[in-house]
Structures are given as C-alpha cells and as structure tokens.
Amino acid sequence: MFPHDTRRQRLAETMRAHGGGVAIAFTAPEVARNRDSEYPYRWDSYFYYLTGFPEPEAAMVLVADGATTESILFCREKNEEREIWDGFRFGPEAARERFGFDRSLPFGSLDEELPKLLADRPALWYALGADEALDARVHRWLGAVRAQARAGVVAPAQAFDLRAVLDEMRLFKDEHEIATMRRAAQISSAAHVRAMRATRPGCHEYEIEAELLHEFRRNGSQFPAYGSIVAGGRNACVLHYRGNDARLADGELLLIDAGCELDGYASDITRTYPVNGRFTGPQRRLYEIVLDAQRAAIDATRAGARFIDPHDAAVRVLAQGMIDCGLVAGSLDGVIESGAYKRFYMHRTGHWLGMDVHDCGDYREPGAPVPAAAGPGAPAAATAGAPAADTGKPWRVLAPGMVLTVEPGLYVRAASDVPAEFHDIGIRIEDDALVTSSGCEILTVDAPKRVDDIEALMRG
C-alpha cells in the first residue's frame, strides 16, 4: 500500500467519525519569478502529504460515504507540445496507477465534477479561509448544488477545516517519514562538516553558503529547506540574517543555520565555530554555556514531558551563565522571572519539524487556540517557532514520533553595559530530535559541536 494511500484512509476514518463528506486539497500554484520564468516548483505540503503527486495544477478529492472511500486525483492531461518545452507529465491514467488513486480526471473538469461529488453529502472539508480564490470557487460549487434543491438535491450543511485534521496527523511521523528525515539530517550534517573545512579568514559568507548548497544537491536533496543563514561576527546577532555577503575576519565566529529538504522533508541545523579554527577564551566561555543549555534541553526532550520543558531547562542554564559572565545581575529565579535574560536570548528553544521547517501541529493540548509565534518564530524562519503567549492552556505532551528542534543561543550585541570581551558574539547550536519511548534520538548527530571536535576538524 502506498504510504499516501494509508494517510488518505486515516483521513477518511476521521471524516466518517464526524458523519462523512467530501475533502478537497489543492496543490500550490506555480509562481512567476520574472517576465519569462517561474520559481522552482514546490508543491503544497498538505496536498503532497496525502498524494505524493509532484506536479502543479492538481487537486485531490476524498469521498468518505458510509463504509466506502473513494480517492480522486485531478491533474493535467498529457500534452506532447508542453512536454517538449516543460518536461514529462503523468497524465490522469498514469497518475492513477502510480499514486494509488481510485480515479483520476483532467484538472480542467473540476468545475463540472465537484458539484456532482458534493451533492447529497453531509459535509465539506477543505482549507477554510486559506485562499480567497479557492473560497470563491467552493462557493460556486455549493451554489450549483443548491440550485438543484427543487429536484431534492441537498448541499453539504457543514464545513470543516481540513488543515486541523492533517496538522494532528502530520505531527506524528511514520516510518517512511522518519527514514527520510534521518537521511536529510545526514546530508545536512555532511554539509556543515564541509563548511567547517572550507572556512578560513578572508572568505566571504556566500562562498561558505555555496559549499552547503553543493553538498545538499550532490547528495540528492532537491532544495534548501529554508534560506541559509551564514553569519560572521556581529551578523550572527541578527536572528534572520540574510545578506550572506560579508567577508569573514580572523578572530570572529561564524554562525550557520542551514538544512536541506529531501523528498519534501526538512532538516534544520545550526552550528557556530571560529573562522580561524580556534575559539578565543570569551568565545569558548559563551559557547560552552550554550552547549550546556542544549544538553539540558535534550535531556528534557522525552515522551511524557511537556513541549515547554526543554525550553525551561535551557533558560535556567543560559540565565545562570549570563549571571556568571556579568551580562545580567540578580538571582537566577529573579533573572528568569523578570525576563532579564531575554535581552540575550529572545526566542524559544524549539519548534516542530517535518515537511515544513516550522511544521504544523498544536504546541498546546489539542483543541487549544494556537497563539502567535514570538520573536524569530515567523513561518519562514530558521530559529525557534513555538508560540510564546500564555493562554492558560497546558503545553503539549511530547510523544514518540514527534520531531522537534533543540536550539538555544546567546546573542550579545555591543553596548556600554556589556563586558567588551563579549561584544558582537552570536552563538546558536541546533539539532533535530525525534522523540522516542526512551528519550530522544538526535538525527543530526554527525555535525560536530563539541569545542575539541570542531577545532580538530578545522585543523585537519
């Protein structure tokens, strides 16, 4: 059985538990880059999760009616002329066989077929409010069904947000997903090793970025999972640094936040190391604080713990380190309670990871409202993405099959009240953790992070 077919069956079971109905998922459109070219195509994650189908102009319809399930793929027809210009198309018949659908129809027949499929169904499941054009199209389909009321045809009386169901499914990775994410993590770890070996004073950040991209692609990764951050010196204190064009100076640190995407699944690694291969005393002192904080967070990443527990564990270590270094003053509990530590550590310690680098899934218990992300946790960011607002709802309990990042950091901008030896030092250490029944498995273990290991690698 196709893994995607298994997911469609699980979705159908959930739909039947709510009375059944019709689910519709569209893939992403192609997007123009400039006058005569498009950005490299990347499908919609929800659509791909259910179908595995890689082409644009496609939609999936799943009918859960009583005890029966029907899966239908709408896709582009074969077109010899367009295939000469743009490449291979599956076409409906081949797509049906290859991706395990019951039926496959031309994408252009959607407006004709959907009113038929929606007629006399109790509910409609789709991404409510995600796209105005899709909402308008759905309204037209429903209008076409309602126009048959005198003939006794009934339109769906309920609508459900399909994403809410898929978010919960995607939060728990199956064996196929875990294997893919392990391989993505291995590729990205190798890229960070390559970057360490290539780094030397006088290089530009973009030269090191090129080493990362080379290693990603030569190992079969289709894309970077997000825009790589290659930040030397003070640039590392900019959480979403994007320039990647500065010259690397002797004596400064280089922070790299970069991971590849493989077959639709992301990896997410950050390493920080000295441009010349040797940490200075102040650099090492702050680095060891961050590394100790990450160890504490990893120890707290286990089944039965709350999502917030790794963050709380990291904050205690970081705050104590800030006190010891003279960055903040006061007792440990006082510094944490007042939030004084946030001047130098202003993001969460992790986020869900999967098909998207900031993957879907509730951070609070299921059904709780999801607060807005704080600080560097914007959807396209490479840093922590957990919600920060206190809604009073309990944080999610970690369970086997979840994958999240563990990424504490310290970012010390130059200021008159900050010890000069720590000025413009930015450090983050990030790994990808799979929650298991006995703790967690670090998928990115092959990327060195101990001081001695980093220095030995760069000497070699």
Tokens representing 302 are 């286990």
Q: Catalytic: which of 170, 347, 348, 396?
A: 347
Q: Catalytic: which of 98, 176, 240, 316?
A: 240
Backbone Cα Rg of the chain: 25
Q: Confirm whether 312 is a catalytic residue.
A: no
351: DSSP letter: -
The alpha carbon of 322 is separated from its chain's Cα centroid by a whole number of angstroms, namely 30
Q: Catalytic: which of 55, 209, 215, 268?
A: 268
Q: Catalytic: which of 35, 36, 81, 175?
A: 36
Ramachandran class of 378: left when φ > 0, alpha when ψ lies in -120 to 50, beta otherwise: beta
Q: Confirm whether 411 is a catalytic residue.
A: yes
Q: Catalytic: which of 209, 261, 407, 432?
A: 407
Q: Confirm whether 174 is a catalytic residue.
A: no
Q: Catalytic: which of 167, 430, 431, 455?
A: 430
Q: Confirm whether 453 is a catalytic residue.
A: no
Q: Confirm whether 268 is a catalytic residue.
A: yes
Q: Catalytic: which of 4, 96, 348, 358?
A: 358
Question: Which of 199, 411, 200 minimizes the C-alpha distance to 286?
Answer: 411
Q: Confirm whether 36 is a catalytic residue.
A: yes
Q: Confirm whether 358 is a catalytic residue.
A: yes
Ramachandran class of 326: left when φ > 0, alpha when ψ lies in -120 to 50, beta otherwise: left
Alpha carbon distance 325, 283 (integer Å) = 12
Q: Confirm whether 192 is a catalytic residue.
A: no
Contact 15, 65 (CB under 8 A): no
Q: Confirm whether 4 is a catalytic residue.
A: no
Q: Confirm whether 111 is a catalytic residue.
A: no
Q: Confirm whether 430 is a catalytic residue.
A: yes
Q: Catalytic: which of 257, 309, 362, 432?
A: 257
Residue 36 CB burial class (10 angstroms; 0-12, 13-18, ≥19):
exposed
Torsion from C-alpha of 39, 217, 255, 333, nearest 10 degrees:
80
Active-site amino acid positions: 36, 240, 257, 268, 347, 351, 358, 407, 411, 428, 430
